[in-house]
Structure 1
Amino acid sequence: MNSNIEALYKIANKPVRKIIGLMSGTSFDGLDIALCEFSGSGLETRVKVINFVSKAYLPEFKEDLKSVFAKRIVDLEKLTLLNAYIGNYYAELILESLKDWDISPSDIDLIASHGQTIYHAPMQQREADAYSNATLQIGDGDHLAVKSGIITISDFRQKHVAAGCEGAPLSVYGDYLLFSDPNENRIMLNIGGISNFTFLPAAYSTEFFSSDVGPGNTLMDQFVQLNYPGKYFDQDAAIASSGKVNHQLLDALFDHDFFRSAYLKTTGPELFSLSYLNDAIHRSGLQGLSNEDIMATLATFTAKAIVKAITFCVEGKGAYEIYISGGGMHNPLLTGIIEEMLGKKLKFSSDLGIEPDAKEAVLFALLANEAVSGGKTDFGKHPGVPSISMGKVSFPQ
């Protein structure tokens, strides 16, 4: 037996596996690193988060990512170089974190890397063509494995696309396995660059589902970065809170086929870009609108899209609780609007044992655990959640 396969076999049969989950979102804040201990698999999965850190990216690296992100035309050499560079950079950040935690890399069984999403191209977001759904994440798993010395599982989204889906949201798998409850209907709401939620009916029903619903932080972040040099987001919603919602612009923002198309669906900053905003402003004849009023309107746009989706998708399904995660949970204006519109207090995934800032990194670690030790769960027959094993294995030698 090849020594690499033998090592993977031994890991798969361990009673407890130490897996590092990595997540880097579309806001380019930094790399989330969650060191987890897993036992079991499927609905018997048990996870303990041992350590978590979010390693901030250097400003120049953020600019490099922005130069190739969500653009139809990019510098192909830069993209190629970044694919290798990010794999090595992630490894350096992991080794630095392990040193801080006084943990040897040899004690880690697996790395689970989401990679950095560069472009998301579902069919429903394009004009008719000969191509299927597609999505691209960079940050090469082989570079990460060789540099860290740890077996790496990466590029999870491609199997989902190959199975006829859109490559997102993948959080539905972990949400179902970790957060389903016998007695409570739950909505796991994530507000990252894009907003999505998973609905988990009580009693471990396989009638769960997940969907993107529209922008999260992406439009607000892009607008801040353009108009407030040195800022990457609206800290504590200070800008948006000083403005007033313009309902004419709000209506124009909702006037798009995405909001008329059926759930379940995915999207990305490729659609919800500054061009999307500028087009809505132009159609509204509101070129003189203040930055503060635009930000207030964007916050309301994000919140209202979330509320519309939740109320439409779970109507008639009984009472439910909402558990929030993602960067948007730190925006008090955004969360306040959602709570007011729903008449419901938002809870946090920490109420269920997983810190919200770490949740996405933990869920990708879970996908790696399933890749080596699971794969037996039947997720039902509904669209978007095929019963598949995801992730590509890269060995350090």
Structure 2
Amino acid sequence: MNTNWKKVFDIIQKPERLIIGLMSGTSMDGLDIALCAVRGSGTATSVRLLEFKTADYNHEFKAEIKSIFSRHDADLQMVCLMNEKVALVHAEMILDAVSSWGLKSEDIDVIASHGQTIYHAPRSLHGLAKYPNATLQIGDGDHIAVKTGIITIADFRQKHIAAGGEGAPLAVYGDYLLFSKKGEDRVMLNIGGIANFTYLPGDNDATKVFSTDVGPGNTLMDQFVQKHYVGVYFDKDSSIASAGKVNQSLLEELMQSEFLEADFPKTTGPELFNMRYLEQAQDKTGTLHISKADVMATLNSFSANVIINAIEKCFGKGTAPSIYISGGGMHNPLLLKQLKTGLKNAEFHSTQILEVNPDAKEAVLFAVLANETLVGEKTDFGNRKGIPSVCMGKVCLPE
């Protein structure tokens, strides 16, 4: 037997696997690295988060990614070069993290790499009838495997698209396996660049599980701050937005996107919700010259309204789901205040109460997806749009 595949076979036989989950989102702050001890599979999966860190991207690396991120005119040579460079930078970050935890590469069974999304193009966004759903994440898995010496499972989103999905959101798979609870209807709300949530029914029926993007989370606020405040990448503690006043005419115009009215499930990204989207809304409402703080206050309310409306659309006004929050948006106090005001009957929790660091949740979920690739069977979510019943990820061998 090929020695690489023998190693894979040996890992599959283990009662517990050490898997490093990686996540780098559209905010491009850095690489989330989660060391997970994973047992079982399917609904019998259990995960212990052993270590977690975010390896920050330096300014030059961020600029290189942004030069090809969500752009129709991206330089094809730069896309090729960054596919390799992102992988090599991630590999170095992994090796540094492993060393800092007092471990060696041979102690780790598998790396689960999400990669860096540079373009998301579901049909609902590109509108080209002759072309399928598509998405592209760079950071080649083979480079990570060779550089670290660790088997790497990568490129998860392509199988989702091949099986009829839009390549996002993938959180539904891990959310269902880890966080479903008999007798409690749960909403797993992740506020990253784009806000998305998974509905987990209290009867644990997988055919009722529901996951969707809802619209902008942090992306517009982050883009605005980065454009107008030198050396600032996000509105820490919502200090800028809190100093401003919501402009109602601008807010109403921002809410006019057809995407926000589309049925669930759906996906989106900065390809739609970007500075051009904001500037068009400001131009239409004559608000191009309002203060930066007022724009930020309005964008904060925009994200809050998008989330509130989506949850009410699914569950009705006055319902009381248990909402478990993760992602960078949970550190935005003004956004959280607006969510709690708008969803008065809901109970809000951090995923920390479920023993998963909310900043690490997305990386942990990719570790779970990799575990399913190795030892799981596909979960039957029924014959429904957007949630194909598949295992995902390509196996990249280090030798």
TM-score calculated relative to the size of structure 2: 0.98
Counterpart of 1:216, as a letter, is G
Indicate the residue corresponding to 1:272 in structure 2: 273
What secondary structure does 1:153 align onto? strand
Question: Residue 368 of structure 1: which of 356, 367, 370 is its match?
Answer: 370
Q: How does 1:14-93 map to 2 (within 5 A)?
A: 14-93=14-93
Q: Which moved more, 1:7-16 or 1:307-316?
A: 307-316
CA contact (8 A) 2:198 2:209 kept: yes
Q: Which of these residues, 355, 358, 377, is aligned with residue 360 of structure 2?
A: 358
Whether the aligned pair in 2 keeps the contact of 1:84 and 1:140 (CA below 8 Å) is yes
Kindly state the Cα deviation for residue 260 of structure 1 after the two structures are TM-superposed: 2.0
| 1:213-224 equivalences in 2 (<5 Å) | 213-224=214-225
Equivalence for 1:186: 186
Kept after mapping to 1: 8 A contact 2:201/2:209: yes
Residue of structure 1 equivalent to 2:338: 337
Moved more, 202-211 or 373-382: 373-382
Alignment gaps of 5+ in structure 2: none
Q: Percent identity?
A: 55
Stretch moving more, 164-173 or 381-390: 381-390
Instruction: Give 1:101 deviation, angstroms.
Output: 0.6
Aligned counterpart for 2:350 among listed residues 337, 348, 351: 348
**Contact 1:224/1:231 (8 A) holds in 2:** yes
Q: What is the Cα deviation at residue 289 of structure 1?
A: 1.1
- Contact kept in structure 2, 1:195 and 1:212, CA below 8 Å: yes
Flag the 1:247–1:154 CA change in 2: closer, same or farther, 3 A. Answer: same
Residues 1-397 of structure 1: matches in 2 within 5 Å?
Answer: 1-206=1-206, 207-315=208-316, 319-343=320-344, 344-397=346-399
Q: Could you report, residue by residue, the CA deviation over 1:68-126 in whole angstroms, capped at 9, with x for unpaired residues?
A: 11111111111111100111111111110111110111010000000000000010112
Contact 1:24-1:31 within 8 A present in 2 as well: yes
> How far did residue 394 of structure 1 move?
0.5
| TM-score between both structures, scaled by the size of structure 1 | 0.98
Aligned mates of 2:347, 2:275 — CA distance in 1: 31
State the AA in 2 paired with 1:320: P
Q: Residue 185 of structure 1 contacts residue 318 of structure 1 at CA under 8 Å; is this kept in 2?
A: no
- In 2, the alpha carbon distance for the partners of 1:376 and 1:167 equals 16
Q: Per-residue displacement from partner, 1:253-286 (whole Å, max 9, x unpaired)?
A: 0112112211110000000000000000011111
- RMSD (Å), alpha carbons: 1.2
Pair 1:231–1:103, CA change in 2 (3 A): same
Tell me the distance in 2 between the aligned counterparts of 1:225 and 1:48.
36
**Residue 377 of structure 1: how far off its partner (Å):** 2.6
Structure 1 residues 116-138: Cα deviation after superposition (integer angstroms, max 9, x where no partner): 00000010112333101000000
Structure 1's consecutive aligned runs of 4 or more residues displaced over 6 angstroms after TM superposition are none
Seen in structure 2, the aligned counterparts of structure 1 residues 295 and 316 have a Cα distance that, compared at 3 Å, is closer
| Whole-angstrom distance in 2 between the partners of 1:380 and 1:13 | 29
Deviation at 1:287, TM superposition (A): 1.7
Question: For the Cα contact (< 8 Å) 1:123–1:133, is it kept in 2?
Answer: yes
Matched residue SS, 1:238: helix
Deviations 1:191-225 (A, max 9, x none): 00000000101021220100000001000000000
Question: How big is the shift at 1:249?
Answer: 0.3
Shift of 1:150: 0.1
User: Which secondary structure does the structure 2 equivalent of 1:346 belong to?
Assistant: strand
In structure 2, distance between residues paired with 1:396 and 1:119: 27
User: SS where residue 74 of structure 1 aligns?
Assistant: coil
**One-letter identity of the residue aligned with 1:120:** H
1:345 is displaced (CA, Å) by 4.5
Question: Take 2:174 and 2:120, find their aligned partners in 1: how far apart are those partners?
Answer: 21
Structure 1, residues 232-254: CA drift from partner, whole Å, max 9, x if none?
01111011000000110011101
Instruction: Please tell me the residue identity of whatever aligns with 2:350.
Output: F
Deviation for aligned residue 1:317: 11
Do 1:109 and 1:151's aligned partners in 2 also have CA atoms closer than 8 Å? yes
Secondary structure, counterpart of 1:336 in structure 2:
helix
Following TM superposition, by how much is the alpha carbon of 1:396 offset from its aligned partner in structure 2, in angstroms? 0.5
Higher mean displacement: 256-265 or 134-143 = 256-265
Q: Deviations over 1:119-164 (max 9, x none)?
A: 0001011233310100000000000000000000000000000111
Distance across 1 between alignment mates of 2:379 and 2:205? 13
Work out the number of aligned pairs and report it: 397
How far apart are the structure 1 equivalents of 2:237 and 2:319?
33
Task: Measure the CA separation in 1 of the matches of 2:257 and 2:100.
Answer: 48
SS of alignment partner, residue 67 of structure 2 = helix
> 2 CA distance for matches of 1:396 and 1:382?
37
C-alpha distance in structure 2 between counterparts of 1:127 and 1:224, whole Å: 30
